[in-house]
Amino acid sequence: MSSREVILLGSTGSIGTQALDVIRRNRDRFRVVGLAGGGGQVELLAAQALEFEVEAVAVARASTAQDLQLAFYTEAQRRGWSEGRFALPKILAGPDAATELASWRLGENGLVLNGITGSIGLAPTLAALTAGRTLALANKESLVAGGPLVRAVAKPGQIVPVDSEHSALAQCLRGGAPSEVRRLVLTASGGPFRGRKRSELAGVTVDDALAHPTWQMGPVVTINSATMVNKSLEVIEAHELFGLPYDRLDVVVHPQSLVHSMVEFVDGSTLAQVSPPDMRLPIALGLAWPDRVPEAAAAVDWTRAATWTFEPLDDDAFPAVNLAREVGQAGGCLPAIYNAANEECVAAFLAGALPFTGIVDTVRSVVESAEKADSRVGGLLDEPGSVEDVLSAERWARAEANSRAFGSDAGQAAEGSR
């Protein structure tokens, strides 16, 4: 079996470093052709590039291109390589560098793994799909903010989900025909506030919200897990990936985080994908799809007694999922507005400007304002026709969210800086 050529976008982040760990242990199966990073960790990016002997490296900050070149030489010296022993990768630099790399030449079964965080991952997603590449997708914003754009260019089966929940659903869906599927059930850990009522959440602190019981993640994703916004975005993502209407997408709280999602079929049976919480498994499956990578991660130890529990989501305490369903059903640029407003509200909570319950409450007010303002601003409820349409809606949402969290002057400053 020939090795699969891979372009990895976001190689210095959590998804990227774990993907390289999988590839490192399976050199006979994968060959890394290109890497892309933001430019904030040039030493790590250079080390990755030389270790995997890539052809090209992309950095989003044009000003770091020279720093990256120097880092190549420093890394080569650290490895004790003599001059001429290694070929310098081609450097692509600037805000469009990852997009250019996403359509880089690859072999027939080549794959692009998009592990970029944020809406800046949308343009590379579209470039990879337009170039005909198989896309292993961990950048949920591509589907949440740019779903209509992605649907317009993606061919059936071209996108392979890497998020653990959507990877689980893709695996379970192998167990039946599309006509046999009744509903998809995404599991949620419940975060640090599982079981609390809304009245008990108003005074929680930033440290409380960052104390996730299962996963070690960055602050934004951890807060999103605490508010259930992360799960709400996954509901929109599931709709875009699998095409089921929102009334057939459910969320259930499963604090053990061993059942990653489930598919219920029309005959009453349910298939669940089960594994310990380790992102290397869905990453490995995304890289090798439709095949599996042996020993990608540890399996459940079935010789040990364990208890798994499942609880309904408290929609009063955690209204984000229902709000996402409303936003997703309305469509247009509202999902992008929802996501962007939430990012600003999380920042405001971390800065002490919003209470915890104010995060989703403020997001709802921004969404409602978008529905009212559409006739004045124009385009907010229309399906985006370009990446710029998405970014424009996001800029509007960020300004609105900042205005509510910090005051009108902050909102105007935020709008002017984006």
Q: What is the pLDDT of residues 232-256, one digit of tens each?
A: 999 999 999 999 999 999 999 999 9
Handedness of CA 67, 72, 74, 75 (dihedral sign): positive
Any binding-site annotation on 7?
no
Is 38 annotated in some ligand binding site? yes
User: What pLDDT is attached to residue 413?
Assistant: 47
Tens-place pLDDT, residues 345-360? 999 999 999 999 999 9
Domains of the chain, start order: 4-139 (3.40.50.720), 166-312 (no CATH), 331-417 (1.10.1740.10)
Tell me, yes or no, if the pTM score tops 0.75. Answer: yes
pLDDT, one tens digit per residue, over 303-331 is: 999 999 999 999 999 999 999 999 999 99
400 in a labelled binding site: no
pLDDT band at residue 407 using 50, 70 and 90 as cut-offs: confident
Average pLDDT, the chain: 92
Q: Is 163 annotated as a binding residue?
A: yes
> What is the b/e burial string over 67-104, where b = at least 16 CB atoms within 10 angstroms of the residue's CB?
ebbebbeebbeeeeeeeeebeebebbbbeebbbbbbbb
Read off the pLDDT band of 281 (50, 70, 90).
very high
Check: CB of residue 243 under 8 Å from CB of residue 175: no
Task: Look at residue 416 in the predicted model and tell me its pLDDT.
Answer: 47
Determine if residue 165 is labeled as part of a ligand binding site.
yes
- CA dist 335 and 205 (Å) reads 28
316 known member of a binding site: no
Is 164 flagged in the annotation as binding?
yes
Q: Is 26 annotated as a binding residue?
A: no
* Closest among 262, 287, 245, 2 to 160, alpha carbons compared: 287
The pLDDT of residue 265 is above 50:
yes
Known binding residue 234? Answer is: yes
- When pLDDT is cut at 50, 70 and 90, the band that residue 28 belongs to is very high
141 is in an annotated binding site: yes
| Tens of pLDDT, residues 76-90 | 888 887 766 678 899
